[in-house]
Chain A
Amino acid sequence: MTTTIRTAKTRGVGASIPRPDGIPKLKGEFAYSSDLEAEGMLWGATVRSPHARARIVSIDAAPALAMVGVRTVLTQEDVTGSGRFGLAVRDQPVFATGEVHFWGQPVAVVAAEDRETARRAAAALLVAYEPLEPLVDPAIAARTGSTFRVIDIVNGDPGARGEVVVEGEYEVAMQDQAPLGTESGLAIPDGIGGVDLHISTQWLHADHAQVFEALALAPDQVRLHNAGVGGAFGSREDISLQIHLCMLALRTGRPVKMVYDRSESFVGHVHRHPARMRYRHEADRDGNLIRIEADLLFDGGAYTSTSGAVLANACYFATGPYRVRSVAIHGVAARTNNPTAGAMRGFGAPQPCFAYEAQMDRLAAALGLDPVALRLKNALGTGDRLPTTGQPIVGSLPTRTVIESVAAMPLPEPDESTDPRRLPGGTGLTTPRPAVRRGIGFAVGIKNLAFSEGFDDFSEVRGVLTTAGLELHTAACENGQGMVTVVEQIGRSASGLDRVTVVFADTSEIGSAGSTSASRQTQMTGGAALRAATAVRDEALRRVGGDRLDDSGVWRGDRLVASLEELLASGPIAHLERFRHPLTSPPNATGQGDIHAGFVVAAHRAVVDVDAELGVVRVVRIDTAQDVGRALNPLAVVGQIEGGIMQGVGLAVMEEIVLDQGVMKNASFTDYLLPTFLDAPEVEAILIEEPDHWGPFGAKGVGEPPTISSTAAVVAAMRNATGRELNRVPVRPQDIALGSHQPPATSHQPDRRPEGS
């Protein structure tokens, strides 16, 4: 047995070191935002609309205020500033006023001495509503101009036509991020008109701006602090209780805490956009993609959130990682009275992937080609142009490699086990082995990295050398994905020090790190950390004429020139870095431009056992190859891949918020089903390391690709096993057992329609 000595080298970039928050989380010692407490704190609770659309006739707070222990009730009338928030557009009032636009919209908040009193006071508030007919059909919304954004992309020869045509309609239901940690936070007034908010979020500075603007406070009167995040997946990119908490704390002069319960969490954050998509693929007889037309209708719900950017992603990546000669995409983000949709892992990329990959399979069938061969034939790569935006791809894009790598992985042996845990239906004992048919499905997905369309996307890191090592100060949020671990590894490799620590800075101490979303923190905060740590090291070496830095100090050759104490005696060493990725541009009128900073691809092959008569399934295995640029921490990368695949599997076979006239029917973990361990496939991952052009050490973000094409692969396997059409996710048992069969593969001359029809 040997003891591994933890040198800077072994804990730097490329090492599968464990995360510092891992063991505390397993042992229950990690402080999440819901664990925060302050002396004399009150509890807040939210009053929410029971209608998807209604006029507020009156609000009577008297019954709540009359209760012992209730300290205040606040409505929109109490909001001092703009009173509005929104990540991209400030279009949502802090509280509904006049009219409520979605089920569960906040109408008022209360603060009371304890959580139970706050809950009862919220229930006691009398709000009179006049229910109105909600607009819940996004198609009607689109027709009547109730939209957040409409995008038309035209590229290539509009007259290009292929001999082989497949058409299809696809639907994706509303998925929830379902983080285990519900929305929670603690606001503490500073006694001089300002407030400190400790909050689990994805983007401290975006929250900060929305809080001080909504409340007309000076920016330095509001300070936001990172608190322990129990998962996010996009759900914490928008404001939930941030403004409410600050208002309650400022009004009462006491610390105020709020924690949503599970049901409230479902209505308290945005969701993945439900989508309806119509596709037409045309190819020549050899299988070269000639033209893709797509019509994408996304339901954005009641407020803007990130609908514009989500729809844009869906449109830009509507054709998948393939070369296409001619493209016409029409996308609409509709405004309805359904729950607001916004960011969720994949951010507009999973919906079209489900559709375009189904189309590729149908095209392969129509051509009599192997589905993998068809994908390889059209694979997009470095030097090509993205077929939608026309942007030249200058970074790495190993589409061909991820496809070939997955195709070469061994398939699992046929399963003869009669252990119910290895059968569809699981412990329900529904399915004897002979009723099982195995299917195999393949899918590839593509997405952008970091923010696009000309957004000024940056991250700040301050490197501070102390006698205890290097501190990397950042406002970046650790959502559980491993940002802290990877940024520390980057700091080690850049500086030579082993003692490198991420320090969470609040909004008054450092500039924005940008959002922990869009797979961006490894590249963005990691990129800033690389430069900050390098600058600190260079200054340390320059100061005493050394050539190497480590935890002992500065070395020249094998001689220690100065200890850290000696080095820092002549003054502190610190460097503030603001890192930007390559500039992007907004799209022109036809959706053309250098809109993205970089791209990432992944391929998935799913093996699914299906009981076709009953419609129950078991996802046996997912093999994947993912373009990671460079794996800075392979263990963490595989963690993201496994977790992301689980979210993709969930969307394929069970995850759906069921809506009835805008009202959620399953806002609980009893009925919003997430995969359990029994539903989890085995996952085998191959990491494809082709360094990208701007990420630290060539790294790409890894969080989203696992979710994008895994859904499509699972459904492809289910089609392969059953012959059913399965054009909607999640696939429900009735879709398999009672649904329609796949239309026969078609191969025909396309109708020659005049342009513009």
Chain B
Amino acid sequence: METLLPRDLDEALAAIAADPEATVLAGGTDLMVQVNLQGLRPARVIAIRRIPELREWVGRFIGAAVTHRRLEIGPIKALAEAARTVGSPQIRSAGTIGGNLGTSSPAGDTLPFLAAADAEIVLRSRTGERVLPWDQFITGPKRNARRPDELIVGVRLPEHLPARQAFAKVGVRNAMVIAITSCCVIRDEDGTTRVALGSVGPTPIRARQAEEMISAETRPSEAARAEFARLVAAEVRPITDHRSTAEYRRHASGVIARRLLERVLP
């Protein structure tokens, strides 16, 4: 196995252009599971964690190699809450937001925030830069639109990001657990509300009908909040697997969406 350690983004882009089959390594928290448990033996690894451009976090741009730990202590409330639920402290110090996007697991803990925030994913190759809305980037369970010769450079958040935002994740254990369902709610001062859920569909899901309904409610009554929960539960597309049942995931999605709404209401 050959490991390349590019010193900057240009070197990294040259490396991946030269070998689009190469495996990209950042924190390794997903990749090493494949190595240890699934026998993955990459021929060539491009290690990008130390690349300065990818570690940048300037304003609304978060570099792909920014760790969950940095997100956890950062200024974006719901993203920090989501990052806090990732693994153990060791995992949070290694895993990155770019890794969450690269893996595109339906259970990726930061993805509901990125979906609710209408984040854009910045990709770059030697031939240029592409900026994709999150829902054009994540195309299915563990599938995304990154071309083999591209690197995920980072995430661009909209300039206007409401301060009223909250995240929650339901698991069987009270820490270090893969989400049964997770949810992020962001609400603007004018009532415009965005809600996204993870682990309840092939990709993060925006509950658009629920958003539309609750955005029209300036001071949602108890009945409105219950209706919001019902709509969210109706819009998710969960499956039954060894972690939980579709029925429970649907129920829990509605419950936490309603509770998050209540958390962000004044």
Residues of chain A touching chain B, judged by Cβ–Cβ distance below 8 Å, are 119, 123, 261-263, 421, 424-432, 435, 613-616, 618, 653-654, 658, 660, 665-666, 668, 670-671, 673, 675-676, 678-679, 732-734, 737-738
- A732-B172 in contact (CB<8A): yes
Q: Interface segment, B16-24, B43-51, B96-104, B240-248?
A: B240-248
Looking at chain B's contact residues, the main secondary structure is: mixed
Which residues from A are CB-within-8-Å of B255?
A: 613-614, 737
CA distance A432 to B259 in the complex (A): 8
Q: Which of B173, B174, B259 gathers the greatest number of chain A CB atoms within 10 Å?
A: B174
Whether A658 and B173, one on each chain, are in contact in the complex, defined by CB atoms closer than 8 angstroms, is no
Asked whether B173 lies within 8 Å of A430 as measured between CB atoms, the reply is: no
Q: Which of A668, A675, A733 has a CB less than 8 Å from the CB of B37?
A: A668
Chain A min CB distance to B82 (Å): 9
Residue-wise interface mask of B (233-244) relative to A, using a CB-CB cutoff of 8 A (1 in contact, 0 not):
000000001111
CA–CA, A670 and B173, complex, Å:
11
B252 interface residue per 8 A CB criterion: yes
Query: Nearest Cβ distance between residue A45 and chain B, in whole angstroms?
Result: 11
- B49-90 residues at the A interface, CB under 8 angstroms: 81, 84-85
Q: Which residues of A contact B168 (CB under 8 A)?
A: 425, 428-430
B256 at the interface (CB under 8 A from A): yes
Contacts of A675 in B (CB 8 A): 173
Residue of B nearest to A432 (CB): B259
Q: How far is the CA of A676 from the CA of B174 in the complex (A)?
A: 8
CA gap between A613 and B37 in the complex, in Å: 36
Cβ-based interface call for B39 (8 A):
yes
Q: A106 to B84: give the CA distance in the assembly, Å.
A: 41
CB-defined A-B contacts under 8 Å, sample of 19? A424-B174, A425-B170, A426-B175, A429-B167, A429-B169, A430-B168, A614-B252, A614-B255, A614-B256, A615-B252, A668-B37, A670-B178, A671-B243, A676-B174, A732-B244, A732-B248, A734-B244, A734-B245, A734-B247
Question: Are A654's CB and B37's CB within 8 A?
Answer: no
**In the complex the two chains form, is A673's CB within 8 Å of B173's CB?**
yes
Q: A737 CB to closest chain B CB, in angstroms? A: 6
Contacts of A614 in B (CB 8 A): 170, 252, 255-256
Partner of A665, one of B174, B177, B242: B242
The 8 closest A-B pairs by CB, nearest first: A426-B174, A734-B248, A665-B242, A428-B169, A658-B242, A678-B175, A678-B174, A429-B168
Q: Given A119-B39, A432-B259, is A671 in contact with B170 using a C-beta cutoff of 8 Å?
A: no
Name the interface residues of B171-207: CB closer than 8 Å to any CB of A.
Answer: 171-178, 180, 182
The residues of B that contact A653 with a CB separation of less than 8 Å are 172
Known: A616-B174, A738-B248. 20 other contacts (CB 8 A): A421-B174, A427-B175, A428-B171, A429-B166, A429-B167, A430-B170, A432-B259, A432-B263, A613-B255, A616-B170, A665-B241, A671-B178, A675-B173, A679-B173, A679-B175, A733-B248, A733-B252, A734-B245, A734-B247, A734-B248
A175 CB to closest chain B CB (Å) equals: 14
Q: How far does the alpha carbon of A597 sit from the alpha carbon of B85 in the complex, in Å?
A: 49
Closest B residue by C-beta to A123: B39
- B126 — which chain A residues lie within 8 A by C-beta? none
The answer, yes or no, to whether B36 is at the interface (CB within 8 Å) is yes
Contacts of A733 in B (CB 8 A): 170, 172, 180, 244, 248, 252
> What residues on B are CB-neighbors of A424 within 8 Å?
174
Please state if B39 and A430 are interface contacts (CB–CB under 8 Å): no
Bound-state Cα–Cα, A171 to B259, Å: 33
- Contacts A427-B84, A428-B169 given; indicate if A673 touches B177 (C-beta within 8 A): yes
Closest Cβ neighbor of B36 among chain A residues: A261
Q: In the complex, what residue of chain B is closest to A735 when comparing beta carbons?
A: B248
Residue of A whose beta carbon sits closest to that of B242 = A665
Nearest CB in chain B to that of A737: its residue: B251
With A and B bound together, what is the CA distance between A263 and B252 in angstroms? 30
Q: A429-B168, A654-B173 are in contact. Are A671 and B242 (CB under 8 A)?
A: yes
> In the complex, what residues of A have CB within 8 A of residue B245's CB?
734
Query: In chain B between 146 and 183, which residues have their CB closer than 8 angstroms to a CB of chain A?
Result: 166-178, 180, 182
- The distance from the CB of B116 to the nearest CB of chain A, in whole angstroms, is 15
**Residues of A contacting B175 with CB < 8 Å?**
426-427, 676, 678-679
Q: Which of A431, A660, A733 has the most CB of B within 10 A?
A: A733
CB of B254 to closest CB in A, whole Å: 10
Interface string of B202-241 (1 = CB under 8 A from A): 0000000000000000000000000000000000000001
Closest to A677 in B: B175
Residue of B nearest to A431 (CB): B259
Bound Cα distance A613, B256 (Å):
10
By beta carbon, the residue of chain A nearest B173 is A673
Q: Which of B85, B180, B256 is close to A427, meaning CB atoms less than 8 Å apart?
A: B85
In the complex the two chains form, what is the Cα distance from A119 to B36 in whole Å?
Answer: 11
Closest to B37 in A: A263
When chains A and B are docked, how far (Å) is the Cα of A666 from the Cα of B172? 14
- Count chain B CB atoms within 10 A of each CB in A421, A427, A431, A679 and give the residue with the most: A427
Chain B residue at minimal CB-CB distance from A672? B242
Residue of B nearest to A262 (CB): B37
For the complex, what is the distance from the CA of A670 to the CA of B176, rounded to whole Å? Answer: 9
**B170-A428 in contact (CB<8A):** yes
CB < 8 Å neighbour of B85 from A262, A428, A432: A428
B174 adjacent to A618 (CB under 8 Å): yes
Most chain-A Cβ atoms within 10 A of its Cβ — which of B39, B81, B84, B168?
B168
> In the assembly, what is the distance between CA of A696 and CA of B146, in Å?
69
Task: Provide the residues of chain A in CB contact with B180, threshold 8 Å.
Answer: 733
CB-CB < 8 A to B166: which residues of A?
Answer: 429
Return chain A residues, CB-CB under 8 Å to B173. 426, 654, 673, 675-676, 678-679
B242 and A430 form a contact (CB under 8 A): no
Q: Contact: A737 with B174, CB < 8 Å?
A: no
Check B85 against A673 for contact (C-beta < 8 Å). Answer: no
The complex places the Cα of A732 from the Cα of B244 at a distance, in Å, of 8
Residues of A within 8 A of B248 (CB): 615, 732-734, 737-738
CB distance from B149 to the nearest CB of A (A): 30
Looking across the interface, which residue of chain A has its beta carbon closest to that of B169? A428
Within 8 Å by CB of B247, from A263, A665, A679, A738, lies A738
Q: Give the residue name and chain of the A residue nearest to B167 (CB).
A: A429
Q: How far is the CA of A115 from the CA of B33 in the complex (A)?
A: 18
Query: Contacts of B172 on A, CB cut-off 8 Å?
Result: 653-654, 673, 732-733
Measured between alpha carbons, how far is A427 from B178 in the docked complex, in Å?
A: 12
Instruction: Give the distance in Å from the alpha carbon of A668 to the alpha carbon of B168 in the complex.
Output: 25
A738 cross-chain contacts in B, Cβ below 8 A: 247-248, 251
A145 CA to B256 CA in the complex, in Å? 48
Q: Are A427 and B174 in contact (CB under 8 A)?
A: yes
Whether the pair A430, B256 counts as a contact (CB closer than 8 A) is yes
B199 CB to closest chain A CB (Å) equals 12
Give A320 to B172 CA distance when docked, in angstroms.
Answer: 30
Give the residue among A421, A426, A430, A737 with the most B Cβ atoms within 10 A.
A430
Q: Which residues of B contact A613 (CB under 8 A)?
A: 255
| A425: chain B residues within 8 A (beta carbon) | 168, 170-171, 174
A481 to chain B minimum Cβ distance, whole angstroms, is 25
Contact, CB under 8 Å: A676 / B176: yes
Cα A665 to Cα B244 in complex, Å, equals 12
A562–B178 Cα gap in the complex (Å)? 67
Query: What chain A residues lie within 8 Å of B81 (beta carbons)?
Result: 429
Cβ of A658: which chain B residues have Cβ within 8 Å of it?
A: 242
With A and B bound together, what is the CA distance between A86 and B256 in angstroms?
A: 50
Q: Which residue of A lies closest to B170 (CB)?
A: A430
Which of A261, A263, A671 has the most B CB atoms < 10 Å from its CB?
A: A671
Q: Please name all residues of chain B whose beta carbon is closer than 8 Å to the beta carbon of A615 when the two chains form the complex.
A: 248, 252
